[in-house]
Amino acid sequence: IPFTFTRTRENASSTDWEGFVRGLQNIDYQGVLSFETAPVLTAFPDEMKADALKFIHKIGQYFAKRVYGA
Determine the pLDDT at residue 1.
53
pLDDT tens-digit map of 9-64: 676 777 788 999 999 999 999 999 988 887 888 888 999 999 989 988 998 999 99
Residue spans of the domains in the chain: they are 17-68
> Which residues share a beta bridge with 5?
13
At 2 the three-state DSSP class reads: coil
Q: How far apart are CA 5 and CA 10, in angstroms?
A: 9
Q: How far apart are CA 53 and CA 42, in angstroms?
A: 12
* Position with higher pLDDT, 49 vs 4: 49
Contact indicator for 63, 33 with CB cutoff of 8 Å: yes
